[in-house]
Amino acid sequence: MTDAVMNAGRVAFQADGSTGARKGVQVNRLDGGLIKGSKALTFTFDGKSYKGFEGDTLASALLANGVRLMGRSFKYHRPRGVLTSGSEEPNALVELRSGGRQEPNTRATVAELYDGLEANSQNRWPSLQHDFMAINDRFSNFLTAGFYYKTFMWPAAFWEKLYEPIIRKAAGLGSISFEADPDAYDKGFLHCDLLVIGAGPTGLMAALTAGRAGAQVIIADEDFLLGGRLNAETFGVGDLTGAAWVEQAQAELAAMPNVRVMPRTTIIGAFDHGIYGAVERVSDHVLAPEAGKPRQILWRIYSKRAMLAAGATERPIAFENNDRPGVMLAGAVRAYANRWAVTPDQTVAVFTNNDDGHRTAADLIAKGVKVTAVIDTRPDAPKVEGAELFAGAQVIDTKGRLGLEWARVRLANGTTRDVPCGALAVSGGWNPNVHLTCHQRGRPAWREDIAAFVPAGELPQNMSVAGAANGDFSTAAALRAGAEGAVAALSELGIETKAGDLPEAEDAPVNVTPFWYVKEGKGRAWLDQQNDVTVKDVKLAHQENFRSVEHLKRYTTLGMATDQGKTSNMGGLAIMAELAGKQIPEVGTTMFRPPYTPVSFGVMAGRSVGEEFRPTRKTPSHKWAEEQGAVFVEVGQWLRAQWFPKAGETHWRQSVDREVLQTRNSVGICDVTTLGKIDVQGKDAAEFLNKIYANAFAKLPVGKVRYGLMLREDGIAYDDGTAARFAEDHFVVTTTTANAVLVYRNMEFARQCLFPDMDVQLISTTEAWAQFAVAGPNARKLLQKVVDPEFDISNEAFPFMGCGEITVAGGCRARLFRISFSGELAYEIAVPTRYGDAMIRKLMEAGEEFGAVPYGTEALGVMRIEKGHAAGNELNGTTSALNLGMGKMVSKKKDCIGNTLSEREGMNQEDALKLVGFKPVNAADPVQAGAHLMNADGEVSAATDQGYITSAAYSPVLGCSIGIGFLKSGDSRKGEVIRAVNPLEGKEIQVEVVSAHFVDPEGERLRG
């Protein structure tokens, strides 16, 4: 926990020994605050160097340096400054860092300042001060809500080539560097009794109460400083300042081993069953992550109970030209002054509809900032000390180039007054942060007394809400709600505790009169500054009948993008309600969905990037194959040798042809470990396989292997392989590489769900055995050198389709199968995986006198096509046993998965597709997989389609290209010449229909 405290970066002004006297160090720097004054940090913005302090954000440091202009708006490229002091910021988006670490659209309000920080403004050219695209602003009448839909309708072809590229270039936010991110991101899992979301007075009090009771507690806050609004206000807690109380609470929490304090951690979503997603920014506040540390961690937090203590967000009031840099939220202005010792300008005015705005005026005045006026919409506004009050007044316009210079005020008596101010602090009231309560099914309810939505409906399982997030805005209410909420949550878990004595704190009532926008003025009053949505846009949407709030959002883009309308949604729907003549609760809110704030792709990916994107599985002979210079190919997660180039070979075909010919002429060896292997044992093993395979297995003798075809329940061919019977109650089943996991899953389904009382057990042994195919006329001679002499593997003793348990190399346990995929005399020999490497070396050594070659997946593929064996291309999810020429294999005498529906009429048409072979009439023509088959004459069309070629290869045995595929009534069309067409490439060749068994059609070789 000590680390957590250190990381929290809590540095009160008392702690650094200075007086906090810093006024004027930067142009708008004040005294006091919670920044560390001992050492100035250097940073750059748009290439210009500035100074700030530890504890600053980029936004506070820029304001301190008199920089109000921080960005350009999305659509109109209007100059914009910072609006808020938190994660809800719509305007001050920057590109942080550069190169591979460049991060676009980062809110300057949450970017923690560090020495050497580099930030650039975005969405402007050539510079923030002179933005060429600001011309968009002149055409604003043309770019209103729905302009995409209205303007770019015609001609349709222009959209992709002309409109979209232009819009994409003109509009948009930050850019990325296209360089690889050098940093690591991690994922982690945490468990707790109580998760406290937010570390303001509510959250801290809850964590203290639960921690003292001995519960496992996690308290997370997106800020690097715990305390929430206590850092931004001048309120005391008990006899301490707010900040000092926070420090004390944090120290107590840090000393509890059962409490985990997580600053810089945003809870991004509330998921099912008490699971929360959290992003911890471990290294975003330093120049580069420390060695071995990730930049960010994505946590999955399993909580028994959770308390949302996320506070509230202030909302603005819309009026003409309210987007000028310098117009800010009143609570933010107060936070900059109290926490960061910064004023946005030396003269500030306040525009408010509630008492909270008056606090800003009072705090600024106390800090020596000139407050030129407090403009309060309420005629009965409370008195103000030290500034002029305009009660019942409204701001109707502002002026100033690239920043606010003065505000025009309509006074209660109807006259206007121009109030000079470099900053205007606006407060329209506060919205509880209900977002996480809506991530499941919660729908907020309207509370008239505070003029805001509060959590309601079905909250995420075991979540409670307390403090400002629940509409309890005073510090005293927050402390009380935190303590009582923790007691209630723990009580549900069987931990009884008491709230204890709470410190005294301010308990001011909420005093707000709803006021959403100033009606006066013809210009634009901005609601959503991030998306450039105005009051007029909302009116237009309403006029055009987009009246549901969800439609309003999509038509106007109100509430979209990085801030998700945290400061703008409320205004939009209040205006919508007014236009529709409805009450606000009748209009309702749009859905809040995770994430709460933007999340980087990096942390979502975690370590699953590049080669680590998924596991890489290597075959037991991988190391040996590497030594041979093999070329590898990805087959699912596996890396398999594709071919083994020899010196002098310049083209892969040379290697593959050699491997094929040498195997067919002498002997070749291939690692076939990747095929799925499933051990099936039990009294009912044979009966079980009868259910799984379309063909019969009950009568397979011990010591024999049989080819097996599996169907899906709909009758389509699913997978094929072999089943070897080692004992009455023991089979070893193989599957294709691709389906190894799925076949096992389906077999378990059949075992547990369909035939629950069969005496049969399954286990996947794919990784347990290294298996090699040894194929070719010299295969037996080679194996006889490896297999221990007491095992007779002569043709008589160990015929085709035999299997047995043997030993090799003087006692090593092994399994031998006499099966052939290549069509040659062939065996597959399996040894425990740890002997796989030794086995390949042994086999190659024994094969030296025969010129044995290793062969890869390409030669494997060529040989199976030459032999007409079906593989993935043929078992492609649309073909039946009938199509594959195995219709007779499907037993009608027994029940098996798929046999009933395989008898459907549609799957048994007379002209059904049949697997056959194709040879080019002109031997030089290449046969292409994917080519469609057409009759010798007639048009080429889907209607005349006769089938398609599934697999093709150059056959070094036949000296020409060959293919196999599906042809209508193919089995009765041998000798016919038809066309194989590839309209995509404009190719067409003549092919002769032949048997798919190009090599050794009688199967003499494999029985020899």
Residues that bind other proteins (CB under 8 A): 271-275, 302, 440-441, 458, 461, 713-714, 741, 745, 748-749, 752-758, 895, 899-901, 903-904
- Of 961, 997, 1005, give the one whose Cα is nearest residue 664: 1005
CB of 448 or CB of 748, closer to other proteins? 748
Nearer to other proteins, 679 or 713 (CB): 713
46: how many CB neighbours lie within 10 A of its CB? 16
Our CB check for other proteins shows the closer of 274 and 847 to be 274
For other proteins, which is the closer residue by CB, 498 or 904? 904
- Our CB check for other proteins shows the closer of 300 and 997 to be 300
* Between 21 and 763, CB nearer to other proteins: 763
C-beta of 676: minimal distance to other proteins in Å? Answer: 14
Comparing CB distances to other proteins, the nearer of 567 and 764 is: 764
Specify the residue, 597 or 764, whose C-beta has the smaller distance to other proteins: 764
SS3 722: strand
8 Å CB contact between 353 and 512: yes
C-beta closer to other proteins: residue 158 or 302? 302
- The rounded distance, in Å, linking the Cα atoms of 390 and 379 is 9
CB of 751 to other proteins, least distance (A): 8
664's tokens: 């067919």
Smallest gap, in angstroms, from Cβ of residue 763 to other proteins? 9
Side-chain-side CA neighbours of 922 within 13 Å: the count stands at: 8
SS3 category, 342: strand
In DSSP notation, 524-570 reads: -BEEETTTTEEHHHHHHHHHTT--SHHHHHHHH-TT-TTTTTTTTHH
Nearest to 262 by CA among 282, 289, 292, 245: 282
Minimum distance from residue 271 beta carbon to other proteins (Å): 8
Q: Measured from the CB atom, is 399 or 683 closer to other proteins?
A: 683
Q: How far is the CB of 257 from other proteins (least distance, A)?
A: 24
Contact predicate 883/948, CB 8 Å: no
Q: Which is nearer to other proteins, 291 or 753 (CB)?
A: 753
Please state the closest distance from residue 427 (CB atom) to other proteins, in A. Answer: 38
C-alpha distance from residue 367 to each of 85, 330, 356, 415, 729 (Å): 18, 15, 17, 31, 88
Q: Are strands 117-121 and 394-399 parallel, antiparallel or unpaired?
A: unpaired
CA torsion 529-530-532-538 (nearest 10°) is: -80
Find the shortest distance in angstroms from Cβ 759 to other proteins.
10
Long-range contacts of 364-370 (CB under 8 A, 24+ apart): 364/333, 364/334, 364/337, 364/425, 366/234, 367/30, 367/31, 367/32, 367/337, 367/343, 368/23, 368/30, 369/30, 369/337, 369/343, 370/346
Closest to other proteins by CB, 792 vs 903, is: 903
CA dist 249 and 240 (Å) reads 11
* CB within 8 Å of 939: residues ≥ 6 apart: none
Q: How far is the CB of 758 from other proteins (least distance, A)?
A: 7
Q: What does DSSP assign to residue 630?
A: -
Burial grade of 271 (CB within 10 A; 0-12, 13-18, 19 or more): middle
Kindly give the pairing relationship between strand 617-618 and strand 533-534. unpaired
- CA 775/CA 783 separation, integer angstroms: 10
